[in-house]
Amino acid sequence: MGVPDRKWAKRLLDNTSKGLLGMHVFMAFYYVTWSVLPMFCVNAVCALINVIGLLLMRRGMIRTQIFLLYLSEFVHIAASVILLGWSAGFLLPLVGLTCMIFLAEFLGRLLKLPYMRALPFGLVNLALYVLAFPRFFHQAGLLAYSQSSVFVIQLVWSGCVFALLTMGMHAVMYLTTISQHSLTSKAETDELTGLINRAGYDRLLEEIDPNDTILLLVDTDRFKGINDHFGHDTGDRVLQKIANSLLANFRQDDCVCRIGGDEFAVLMCNTGTLENEKLHDKVRYINRELAASAADELPTVSVSVGVARGADAADWKELFKQADAALYQVKKAGGRGCRIHGET
């Protein structure tokens, strides 16, 4: 799945705030026309809250802006119920459900519970409202106001608010996903090579089915000698060269990782019945590529590769042992080659 577009999400959130601001301005004029000054004041305050939220968003204070957005709607709904009566808030379950979804997602991320979902919160909110609301539906508010007029205007208002809050919630979830993706990517990326690091590799093992996976353990031959003779800067460039060669010679669906100083791992997923000879050809090509003289003026380097198929192992631990044993056989034979577990 690709990373959501941050600019699009911010634009959606910005338009949501502007839409609510416009609605509060419209409602303010509506109520002042009908000389309902308390509700005019309520909508004027809500509009002011939305303006402040938009200004804060321009300064990058998105979380504060989101809080103000929901605060303005809570103030308006509460004031409508108190001043105009319960019929003014007859679509509160929908608005409340939207708020509950946002709250549940926020709490889930705050408590680091990725599987926490908003549905239980929404259903409880809806059940309480269904049980309590009919009893008070015709209860009048503090203001003497036409019930039919309230019904029509609040129908339009609540529907629009529900749509806009849903849009806002969608944007918030996008932005939160982007933020979490950015943090996760940074924590699971090797700074030197740009590959997935050991933490990312360990996480992948929890998500990938080993039965349809081929594991390749890649070890750099005589890397200590390169560091000792040419220096660590050159050694780092050699590792980058190996990383680039691995990335270029494996599929986008394959996961190339740096799991140690000069050790790499490749997880080939959904390979079907990939022939052993094709794996040997791939490793031979990589070694020829690494040995070729180039303008980078780096020392000649080669890799040893141990391979194991997930179909032949009970779990990841056994699969790793099989690949490591195959790698040991290659190193014992002098390196610069490939051995597949179980191959005669």
Closest CA to 30 of 164, 163, 167, 145: 145
Q: What residues does 339 pair with on adjacent strands?
A: 306
* Sequential DSSP letters for 104-118: HHHHHHHTT-TT--S
Q: What is the pLDDT of residue 273?
A: 72
Answer whether 73's CB lies under 8 Å from 20's CB: yes
CA 105/CA 5 separation, integer angstroms = 19
Per-residue pLDDT of the chain (344 residues; tens, 9 = 90+): 333 445 555 666 677 778 778 888 888 888 888 777 888 898 899 889 888 888 887 776 766 777 787 778 778 777 877 777 666 655 554 555 555 555 555 555 555 544 444 455 555 555 655 565 555 555 566 665 555 555 555 555 655 555 555 555 555 555 555 444 444 466 788 889 989 899 889 988 887 888 889 999 999 999 999 999 999 999 999 999 999 999 999 987 788 999 999 999 999 987 767 789 999 999 999 999 998 766 668 888 999 999 999 988 989 999 999 999 999 999 999 999 999 998 87
- Helix H or strand E segment including 190: none
Q: What is the pLDDT of residue 115?
A: 41
Answer whether 49's CB lies under 8 Å from 71's CB: yes
Q: What is the pLDDT of residue 93?
A: 47
Q: What is the pLDDT of residue 246?
A: 94
Q: What is the pLDDT of residue 302?
A: 95
Q: What is the pLDDT of residue 311?
A: 87
* Sequential DSSP letters for 119-180: HHHHHHHHHHHHHHHHHHTT-B-SS---HHHHHHHHHHHHHHHHHHHHHHHHHHHHHHHHHH
Q: What is the pLDDT of residue 223?
A: 94
Answer whether 19's CB lies under 8 Å from 47's CB: no
